[in-house]
Each structure stands twice: as C-alpha cells, then as structure tokens.
C-alpha cells in the first residue's frame, strides 16, 4: 500500500466509557477486588486512545471507515463508487435533540452550527460522510480531499452555493 495514493483523515474521539471505567475501577478498589480493578483499568486505558478515521484508496477504488484503539483498527474495506465531487454542508444542531450528540448543546437554546464534509459518489449510497467540525477545518479538509482525488469541491454552507475548487 503506497501511502501517497491513500487519503487519510483521523480525529481523536472522546468516549464516555472512559470515565465510566474509572468509576468502576474505583468501586472495585474500594471493595479490594484487585483483579476486577485491573481489568476495568486496562479497558479504560485502551479507550482513552480512541480515534475515528477514514482511508480512501483511489487506485484500488475502496474506502475504510474505522475506529482505532492504540494500533488496533476496527472496520472493513468497502468498494468506492466513482466520486463526483466533495461538498461541505452545514448542520444545524438544535437543543431539542433527543439523540446523543458529540457536540455540546448550544447555550442560546436555539441552535448551533457544525459543518460536515461529504464525498458524493455515483452509486446507491449517494455520499460518504468523511468528517465534521468547524468551518475552517472542514474547508481545508475538503480542499485536500478534492486535490487528492482530482475532483471539484462545492461549498454548500450558505444560500449562495459555489465551487471553490
């Protein structure tokens, strides 16, 4: 696998299991259950180093969305349909969400904005979600992906849609 032909994006992912494992470890230590404390401590330590990422191999036309713990990657390669373009979209987050969200609920109780990079493909899946974050980081990442794959980049974050690459 030639690293120059593979697009890579990876980001640290905080998991709520880590503080939970610390609490369980503490409970085991209070009751002098050292084997249980050791096991939960090791699982919690493993979860501290948690990353999510995506690899896109344009030559072999495949992609991998994975979770990585230390050097262990969990995920599988999927076939990549012909990419059309990369798009940056705005996501409105509402304080009325019932599903858990990795982004903090907005202080104004009205809503907040996050941005997401999608790779639009010509297949049944329509698009592949690449990453999400602040506008500046997502524009930079979309341009990097567009240059890597040799396709255009569409800024879909405002009412004035425009091609930026």
Query: Are the CB atoms for 47 and 59 separated by under 8 Å?
Result: no
Q: Residue 16: CA atoms inside 13 Å, Cβ hemisphere, count?
A: 3
pTM of the model: 0.76
Tell the residue number behind the tokens 């409105």, with chain if given: 92
Q: Which whole-number Å values give the CA distances from 145 to 26, 140, 152, 155, in the listed order?
A: 44, 9, 9, 14
Residue 35 main-chain phi, psi, to 5 deg = -70, -45
For tokens 């120059």, the residue is 4
Domain ranges of the chain: 1-80, 82-165
* Per-residue pLDDT, 109: 47
pLDDT of amino acid 82: 94
Per-residue model confidence (pLDDT) at position 98: 55
Q: How many helices (H) and strands (E) does the chain have?
A: 3, 10
**Predicted local confidence at residue 162, as pLDDT:** 92
Q: According to the model, what pLDDT value does residue 18 have?
A: 79
Q: What is the pLDDT of residue 3?
A: 63
41/59 Cα distance (integer angstroms): 42
Q: What is the pLDDT of residue 84?
A: 95
pLDDT per residue rounded down to tens, the chain (165 residues):
556 789 999 998 877 777 888 899 999 999 999 999 999 998 888 878 889 999 999 999 999 999 998 888 999 999 999 999 999 999 876 555 555 555 555 555 445 678 999 999 998 889 999 999 999 999 999 999 999 999 999 999 988 899 998
């Amino acid at each position: 696998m030639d690293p120059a032909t593979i697009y890579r994006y990876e980001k640290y992912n905080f998991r709520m299991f880590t503080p939970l494992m610390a609490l369980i470890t503490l409970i085991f230590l209070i009751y002098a259950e050292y084997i249980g404390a050791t096991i939960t401590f090791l699982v919690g330590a493993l979860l501290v180093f948690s990353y999510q990422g995506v690899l896109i191999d344009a030559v072999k036309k495949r992609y991998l969305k994975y979770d990585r713990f230390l050097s262990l990657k969990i995920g599988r390669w999927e076939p990549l349909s012909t990419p059309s373009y990369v798009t940056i979209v705005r996501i409105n987050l509402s304080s009325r969400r019932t599903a858990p969200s990795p982004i903090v609920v907005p202080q104004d109780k009205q809503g907040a904005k996050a941005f997401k990079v999608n790779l639009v493909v010509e297949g049944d899946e329509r698009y592949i979600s690449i990453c999400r974050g602040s506008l500046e980081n997502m524009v930079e990442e979309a341009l990097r992906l567009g240059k890597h794959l040799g396709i255009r980049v569409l800024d879909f974050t405002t009412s004035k849609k425009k091609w930026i690459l």
